[in-house]
Amino acid sequence: MIKKPIMSLGTINTILNTAPIVIQGATRLIKLIRDQGKNHLPEEEIPDTIDGIKNEVDRLHQRLDTNDESNVEQIKLIEELAKQNESLATQLKTTITHLNRVTLLAVIALLISIVCLVNLLQ
């Protein structure tokens, strides 16, 4: 039987405090990804003149610049989420260490109480 570790109040508090930030970051990332897909040019709008082609090239350059900015923003969001995950993992590791110490103390206390009880019954 596998026992699940009990989270301390500090860990739960950390999770609850960072959850809105994680949700905001994920929402912004989803919005950026969706916005990238909305800028496609239908085939019937392909320009026929040199000026139209120049305008289309300028528009494409602008889209590429926007995509580059969007990619940088996505990378920043991913880095932020990774840092938050690292912080949560560190907090969880600390909590498990504390839980192991408390468990060891409880086992020692139980053994001492059993020894005392056996001595009293003799």
Please give the Cα distance from 35 to 115 (Å, whole number).
70
- Judge contact between 41 and 56, C-beta under 8 A: yes
Please give the Cα distance from 78 to 65 (Å, whole number).
20
Long-range pairs of 63-70 with CB within 8 A, sequence gap ≥ 24: 63/39, 66/39, 67/36, 70/32, 70/35, 70/36
As given in the structure block, the two tokens for residue 97 are 């260490």
Q: What is the pLDDT of residues 44-96, one digit of tens each?
A: 566 678 887 888 888 888 888 888 888 888 888 888 888 888 888 888 889 89
Closest-CA residue to 84 (of 9, 6, 17): 17
Q: What is the pLDDT of residues 9-35, one digit of tens each?
A: 766 777 777 777 777 777 777 777 777
Q: Can you give the pLDDT at residue 109? A: 96
Q: Can you give the pLDDT at residue 12? A: 72
User: How many CB atoms within 10 Å of residue 14?
Assistant: 19
**What's the chain's Rg over C-alpha atoms?**
29
